[in-house]
Structure 1
């Protein structure tokens, strides 16, 4: 059974990364308070510094739904390699961290590890958001529509840069 050792290896790498993320750089300023109920629903990934599974993602959409226990069921769907590529799906579960104004979540892909998920920006109409991590290794610019005006895109990229990210690593996600 080869899959189990791979899962354990990935979990160990993620745990090491998660532990280091708290000490590498200062925390990201959050968008708190975040109305978690308004944040629910679908968000198109407009651009990102991708995690390993997302490196070749097309038509990426992240959807959130509140569970009865308050956790957030997340569904991340994307096409691998092309707009007509095979659809891939992940189902992490988010937990809103207490005393963060709804802006910091732990996102669990593999038990027991929770990755940091910081809502650093959300506009007043809950149409555009930036989600990042203190380590500045991954970032997601998302919107309720598959495209945003170029002026908005450039403004969000400047925000991401001001947060301490290397914006040369950002990839626009084709939709």
Structure 2
């Protein structure tokens, strides 16, 4: 057997093994979403109460998102905002588009901030009055607890954290979001 062929076979075996191990360690039960989201009611401002750490949200304070239906239809306009470094830090904005996943009754969206990359935005729990939401991704690496107000009742927060844990999210890594720029008198 040629040396190059041996190297290719060895490299292939190592990559295959790594892929199998990666798949095994990320083997989760299917992630259940809410049955339906009324996009008209979901539109507006949502404050981030807690999140799993995300590289793009490092050092973010006073985080919120604004959602609006695109006038031409077909997708949701997304505008995320945070203050970098502290409540008085520089305002950082990011604009994206959320595309409802066919057959999900709007409970699953694919959100794109940088074409062609899209991420999962699945609504896992939603208050009947659309006052708070638990949003995550099926890989369990993204999770947000959102509220229409900058604060959330402690009992509701604890219930949402417990629900996220039951769904397989690493809630021990949750970060509470500093919303002091909205809550100071």
Superposition misfits of 4+ residues, deviation over 2 angstroms: 23-27
Please state if 1:48 is matched with 2:55.
no
Please state if 1:73 is matched with 2:77.
yes
Could you give the per-residue CA deviations for residues 137-159 of structure 1, whole angstroms, max 9, x where no partner exists?
Answer: 01000000000111111111111
Aligned to 1:5: none
Q: Secondary structure at the match of 1:91?
A: strand
Q: Secondary structure at the match of 1:69?
A: coil
Aligned to 2:95: 91
Size of the aligned set, in residue pairs, is 154
Distance 1:47 1:81 in 2: 17
Alpha-carbon RMSD across the aligned residues, in angstroms, is 1.3
Match of residue 163, structure 2, among 153, 159, 163 = 159
Distance 1:36 1:150 in 2: 27
Distance 2:30 2:53 in 1: 20
Q: Which runs of 5+ in 2 are unaligned?
A: 1-22, 180-185
What are the equivalent positions in structure 2 for 1:6-155 lying under 5 Å apart?
24-67=27-70, 68-155=72-159
Could you give the per-residue CA deviations for residues 2-27 of structure 1, whole angstroms, max 9, x where no partner exists?
Answer: xxxxxxxxxxxxxxxxxx8xx74343
Q: Secondary structure at the match of 1:92?
A: strand
Q: TM-score, normalised by structure 1?
A: 0.84
Distance 2:122 2:178 in 1: 24
Higher RCO structure (Cα 8 Å, ≥6 apart) = 1
Distance 2:166 2:119 in 1: 22
Could you give the per-residue CA deviations for residues 24-61 of structure 1, whole angstroms, max 9, x where no partner exists?
Answer: 43431101211111111000000000321112110000
Q: Secondary structure at the match of 2:165?
A: helix
Larger radius of gyration: 2
Q: Secondary structure at the match of 2:130?
A: coil
Q: TM-score, normalised by structure 2?
A: 0.80
